[in-house]
Amino acid sequence: MDWTAVFVRLWMHDINNFTRANDLSFGQMNLMLHIHYRGPCEVSGVSELMQMTPAGASQMVERLVQQGLVTRKEVPGDRRVRLVQLTDQGDRMVLACIQAHRRWVKDLADSLEPDQRESAATLLARMTEIACQMSLL
């Protein structure tokens, strides 16, 4: 099996377990991760980002608001625009998800010899730089 398929499968397994255990959908967690890494986003942009209807995106945001994980704030000077941002509780949830994901990565890295770990870290850092230039992250 291709390494990318294995890694994606492990990541999906991890995130699905985490979201189920925390009463979240994959889409909700994905939106929260996006906000964590990129900052607050406009409510109107959530539908495009999540590739869903505006009504579906609005419902997703509302459920996260009700769970205390995000807030909607008016933009000063433009009352028509509202930003979705993480609450402290939402930020803690995202950090817990990231930590859960990093555990299996650490377990994998710990199984390598020190020189292999160093080489892998160097290559992955470079690949990450390139991927960030190519992607929607």
Domain extents for the chain? 3-134
| 31 pLDDT more than 90 | yes
User: Which pLDDT score is estimated for 136?
Assistant: 60
| 27 pLDDT more than 60 | yes
CATH number for the domain running over 3-134? 1.10.10.10
User: Which pLDDT score is estimated for 135?
Assistant: 63
Give the DSSP H or E segment for 50: helix 43-50
Query: What b/e readout covers 5-24, taking b as 16+ CB neighbours within 10 angstroms?
Result: eeeeeeeeebbeebbeeeeb
> What is the β-pairing status of strands 70-75 and 78-86?
antiparallel
Comparison of pLDDT for 128 and 68, the residue scoring more: 68
**Mean pLDDT estimate for the chain:** 90
What average pLDDT score do residues 71-76 get?
88
